[in-house]
Amino acid sequence: MTSSTPTGGPPDRVMGGWQSLRDVLADAQRRLMAAGVPSPEVDASLLAAHVLGVPRGRLYLQDPMPGEQRMAFERLLTRRVARVPLQHLLGSAPFRTIELSVGPGVFVPRPETELVAGTAIDALRALPASDRIAVDLCTGSGAIAIAMAVEIDGCSVTGVEVDPAAARWARTNAERYADAVATRSGSVRIVQADATRCAGVGGQLAELAGAAAVVVMNPPYVPEGTVVRDPEVRDHDPARALYGGTDGLRVIRGAIDTAAILLRTGGQVVIEHSDEQGESAGESGVPGVLRMDSRWRDVTDHLDLARRPRFTTATRAV
């Protein structure tokens, strides 16, 4: 027997004072769906697993959820209904083989960026260990930089981030994986610097000029004035990590110059961009910008898993 539920509050408790986990999740899914959350079932189960301290795959739907944990779940659910990013509520975001600490002040890494990292990793893996020097411009949480160092033996990686808050998150994540990187005989350092100016004379990365084998970047590329629809992105990702000037390419152009200084001849640059900045954009797209620059050859645009233009690679020519 149940009592009436107060308007806007959590559903009734049953099963001798506790509500079943099945009912908790069903209610959470309905509320998340009504709020427009794209993956209500996944989000509800991940929040429940987080509160209960178990892997998502070990949620037992027939078990009750005790009152204290039910209240903790309700607090998180209310924030998720308000479109606070799931990763902020969980405190972490998965990226390839690693789990990154994230929260306010840092861009949450996206699944599509895993392909960008994978391309950089493949390029480094094909080289002798002594040549595996890489730079991750606009590193944010340190996702790509750490993934490279964790997955490849002997990789020396420098992550560059201009924003102080994001750089702190990157350092936290680098410290978290320091032992894993050390077992690979690699290194990760995070440098707070402007990705468009850090490689010139007197710059923080000047000593790497002409030494890097790979430079990878997931820069801000949303044009100023663009209306970002997802509340999680619009209201919670740092604007500095999103917007790249009038056409979205201001930071990219500067970072391309940095990459040209850092890379040795034959080195590769990997640049993430929006699906509107690929081949179809002509000279206004990332491939077009690279092809108009004699420092680059073998410019190739690549599709993501949804078959949308997502990133461009090029080789340092001279």
Amino acid at 151: E
pLDDT score of 65: 81
pLDDT score of 310: 96
Are residues 196 and 60 part of one domain? no
User: What is the rounded CA–CA span in Å between residue 216 and residue 220?
Assistant: 13
- Do strands 263-272 and 296-303 pair parallel, antiparallel, or not at all (unpaired)? unpaired
Are residues 164 and 46 part of one domain? no
5 in any annotated domain: no
Q: How many domains does the chain have?
A: 2
Are residues 232 and 305 part of one domain? yes
4 in any annotated domain: no
155 in any annotated domain: yes
What residues make up the domain containing 78? Answer: 19-82
7 in any annotated domain: no
8 in any annotated domain: no
User: What is the rounded CA–CA span in Å between residue 307 and residue 178?
Assistant: 35
| 30-67 exposure pattern, b = at least 16 Cβ within 10 A, e = fewer | ebbeeeebeebeebbbbbbbbbbeeeeeebeeeebbee
Are residues 302 and 168 part of one domain? yes
pLDDT score of 6: 37
Are residues 253 and 217 part of one domain? yes
Are residues 153 and 120 part of one domain? yes
267 in any annotated domain: yes
Are residues 126 and 100 part of one domain? yes
Residue 164's alpha-carbon distances to 46, 47, 169, 187, in angstroms, are 30, 29, 9, 21
Q: What is the CATH number of the domain that holds 238?
A: 3.40.50.150
Are residues 46 and 179 part of one domain? no
> Which 3-state string (H, E, C) describes 118-149?
HHHHHHHHCCCHHHCEEEEECCCCCHHHHHHH
CB 19 within 8 A of CB 70: yes
Q: How many residues does the chain have?
A: 318
pLDDT score of 68: 87
Are residues 152 and 44 part of one domain? no
Q: State the virtual CA torsion across 276, 281, 287, 290 in degrees, nearest 10.
A: -120
136 in any annotated domain: yes
pLDDT score of 87: 97
pLDDT score of 58: 83
Are residues 281 and 204 part of one domain? yes
pLDDT score of 145: 98
Are residues 97 and 64 part of one domain? no
- Do strands 92-95 and 98-101 pair parallel, antiparallel, or not at all (unpaired)? antiparallel
pLDDT score of 112: 93
- Do strands 64-65 and 19-20 pair parallel, antiparallel, or not at all (unpaired)? antiparallel
pLDDT score of 61: 56
Strand partners, 217: 137, 271
Give the end of a domain, one of 63, 82, 101. 82
pLDDT score of 64: 77
Give the end of a domain, one of 82, 114, 135. 82
204 in any annotated domain: yes
Are residues 142 and 74 part of one domain? no
User: What is the rounded CA–CA span in Å between residue 137 and residue 293?
Assistant: 20
- Segments in the chain below pLDDT 70: 1-19, 61-62
pLDDT score of 55: 86
- What does the chain look like in DSSP terms, one character per residue? --PPPPTTSPPPP-TTTSEEHHHHHHHHHHHHHHTT-S-HHHHHHHHHHHHHTS-GGG--TTSEE-HHHHHHHHHHHHHHHTT--HHHHHTEEEETTEEEE--TTSPPP-TTHHHHHHHHHHHHHTS-GGG-EEEEET-TTTHHHHHHHHHSTT-EEEEEE--HHHHHHHHHHHHHTHHHHHHTT-EEEEEE--TTTTTSTTSTTGGGTTTEEEEEE----BPTT-----HHHHHHS-HHHHB-STTS-HHHHHHHHHHHHHEEEEEEEEEE--TTSSGGGGGGSHHHHHHTSTTEEEEEEEE-TTS-EEEEEEEE--
